[in-house]
Amino acid sequence: MKRAWLAVLLLGLLPGLALAHPHGWIDIRVRLVVDDEGRLEALHQAWRMDPFYSLVLLEELSRTEGGLEAGLDRLGGEIRGNLAPFDYFTEIRLGEERLGLGDVSEYTVMERGGRVEFVFLLPLESTQPLNGQTLQYKVFDPTYYLEVVHEAEGETPLDDALLVSGGLNCSTQIVPANPDPELVMQAAMLDVTDEAEPGLGRHFAETGVVKCE
């Protein structure tokens, strides 16, 4: 499996790094975009790279042609292109059905608070009614090279880590991962040169749960 876009960048910039998986993390915020009829259209996602990755990226991009702003613009296209074959690391289920995802055309990359942030709109293949349904999603790097978690203060997710737009009466919950201890040990034994089993990251992923009445 092709490595994640950020992993590729880090490997190129820091060839001497050799640590257990994961090698970095991404803080995410997710907003469900719902139309006037209560149908889910898309997931608006914001990914903030960890401070160390961000520092390395910002320093490298500032030295590229056109400077930092042009470098961030180019990075957005690279991220979008590299994530597309992997459904943007996102799995969504409505009840027992896994939902198909569309193509990302709206995205941007910016620097916020000293960290690199990738913001994008991930549409569904077709809109889905949410009334009386339970929606669950996971966002994860399949190789678990990068840990993906909802933005939090300590152990408590921020209020805007998971939101629902529109006027639906919905409850939200972010369920922590509960991986098998053997998988935790397996991940801890992987260094920067090792390839994780495809799908390892799923076991370490938080689950966003939305129930609408």
pLDDT value of position 127? 97
Q: Which of 201, 111, 205, 188 is nearest to 149 (CA)?
A: 205
pLDDT digits (tens, 9 = 90+) for 100-145: 999 999 999 999 999 999 999 999 999 999 988 899 999 998 888 8
Is residue 2's pLDDT more than 50? no
For residue 175, what are the contacts with CB-CB under 8 A and spacing of at least 6?
206, 207, 208, 209
Q: Is the dihedral of CA 173, 206, 91, 6 positive or negative?
A: positive
- The helix or strand, by DSSP H or E, that contains position 58, with its residue range, turns out to be helix 51-62
The residues with which 107 forms a beta bridge, in sequence order, are 120
- Give percent of the chain with pLDDT exceeding 70: 82
**Between residues 1 and 32, the one the model is more confident about:** 32
pLDDT value of position 146? 85
Is residue 86's pLDDT more than 50? yes
pLDDT value of position 165? 92
Q: Looking at the whole model, is its pTM more than 0.75?
A: yes
Q: Is the dihedral of CA 70, 72, 75, 77 positive or negative?
A: negative
Q: Which DSSP string do the residues of 11-69 spell out, in sequence order?
A: HHH-TT---SSP-EEEEEEEEEEE-TTSEEEEEEEEEEE-HHHHHHHHHHHHTSTTHHH
Tokens matching residue 125? 């293949």
pLDDT value of position 89? 95
pLDDT value of position 102? 97
Is residue 8's pLDDT more than 90? no
Q: Residue 17's pLDDT band (boundaries 50, 70, 90)?
A: very low
Averaged pLDDT, 185-190: 66
Highest-pLDDT range among 150-164, 166-180, 189-203: 150-164
Identify whether 181 is preceded by a cis peptide bond (ω within 30 of 0): no
Q: Which of 166, 146, 175 is nearest to 52 (CA)?
A: 146
Q: Which of helix, strand or coil describes residue 78?
A: helix
Is residue 74's pLDDT more than 50? yes
Q: Which structural domain range is residue 195 located in?
A: 5-10+18-212
Radius of gyration, CA atoms only, the chain:
17
- How many domains is the chain built from? 1
Is residue 6's pLDDT more than 60? no
